[in-house]
Structure 1
Amino acid sequence: MVKRKSASSSDSTDWNYEAKVIEIEGIIAGIEAGELELEEVFDQFAKAVEYLRQCESFLQQRQQQVDLLIETLSDE
């Protein structure tokens, strides 16, 4: 597995999947409200994309862990 820079932040003890999802939802709500300047929309969108990448990496890592546990159970 190749780790990206964003994946390392998901290893941090202060990183939280649910908190990132809430942040993404907040960003989306802010963009949809239409009250941001265009440049801020792009900045917020870029931030949301980075958070989504972090979440995807987190979920992939956890899926690999689950697959390994299932394989271990199957071997027994």
Structure 2
Amino acid sequence: MIPFEMGAHPGISGQYSILEFPDTSDSSVVYIEGVTSDLYLEKAQDVGKYSVMYEHLRAQALNVEQTREFIAKMAKKHAQG
């Protein structure tokens, strides 16, 4: 989870998935879901860029305990109205 207060981050432009396969002969693929069509990126350079972006997102995200605390805080705040 990345709170709004963290500001801009690499994932702000939209969702994507990195598809990895157990067979090492199968290359990883980036899947981007669009409104009218989907996009599959298969070039190693493209997959590499999205993999780096994912690692940056992980570095900015709250850890498990911080995420629990944040959700509990927000739930309490919104329950009070």
TM-score of the superposed pair, with normalisation by structure 1: 0.39
Between Structure 1 and Structure 2, the one with more strand by share is: 2
Give 1 or 2: higher helix fraction.
1
TM norm structure 2? 0.37
Q: Which has the higher contact order (CA 8 A, sep 6+)?
A: 1
